[in-house]
Chains A and B, each alone.
Chain A
Amino acid sequence: GAGVSQTPSNKVTEKGKYVELRCDPISGHTALYWYRQSLGQGPEFLIYFQGTGAADDSGLPNDRFFAVRPEGSVSTLKIQRTERGDSAVYLCASSPGHNTEAFFGQGTRLTVV
């Protein structure tokens, strides 16, 4: 597609449930990033992929969070046993390589009730 696509755009889930958030990056972009943005805050780094591998997952808050990018394109962020504090907008971005502009998707607004 023309830009970074994230689905769903909104997700409401019950506390304790499992959710998957999908990111479809710009074709050919090797770098893919996941961020979490709470209201009134800047994007908080979660994980960065270079190709299929996670180059830096230091931002994942705990082991309930996991992300994959099996074929070096689409990525899925997985959250187990969701908690109300996980409610935020989850942003995905992709870029052609290091130190270059990151193109952001519209985000998935996750609400845990």
Chain B
Amino acid sequence: GDSVTQMEGPVTLSEEAFLTINCTYTATGYPSLFWYVQYPGEGLQLLLKATKADDKGSNKGFEATYRKETTSFHLEKGSVQVSDSAVYFCALSEGDGDMRFGAGTRLTVKP
């Protein structure tokens, strides 16, 4: 079945460092791909998405490109801030509608 594998955390970075969180997926068809973020004490919220191969999702300085050839959707940010500290979840959704999530990667950014 469909699944998502995320880079294990936790990840600790200094402010202004470059961030990459790896995500690879397994799917039978052509899923849409998502990154969700969960800030401390808050619910899950969508960070960005891409619906087809080679699409790039971007939001709040974060980017991820849908790579069909490598079945990947890695999350990147050029310069992280303390306020980016959160848990990040990669997810996919296919035509049958249900969304599958990775285990999450906890990011801590230190000043």
Contacts and interface: CB of A to CB of B under 8 A. Distances in A.
A44 B101 CA distance: 7
Interface stretch (B14-22, B61-69, B71-79, B90-98): B90-98
Contact of B98 (A40, A56, A101): A56
A106 B97 contact: no
Contacts of A25: none
Interface range, A side: 20 to 34
Nearest to A46: B98
Contacts of B97: 31, 48, 50, 55-56, 98-99
Contacts of B101: 35, 42-45
B43 A106 contact: yes
A58 B104 CA distance: 22
Contacts of B45: 104
A99 B51 contact: yes
A35 B31 CA distance: 19
The 5 tightest CB contacts between A and B, nearest first, are A42-B101, A104-B44, A99-B32, A48-B98, A42-B103
Interface of A: 31, 33, 35, 40-45, 48, 50, 55-56, 59, 91, 93, 98-107
21 contacts: A33-B98, A40-B103, A42-B6, A42-B89, A43-B89, A44-B101, A45-B101, A48-B97, A48-B98, A56-B96, A93-B99, A98-B97, A99-B32, A99-B93, A100-B32, A101-B34, A101-B49, A102-B93, A102-B99, A106-B43, A107-B43
Given A99-B51, A101-B46, A106-B43, 18 more contacts: A31-B97, A41-B103, A42-B6, A42-B101, A42-B102, A43-B44, A48-B97, A50-B97, A55-B96, A56-B98, A59-B98, A91-B43, A91-B44, A93-B44, A98-B93, A99-B32, A100-B93, A104-B45
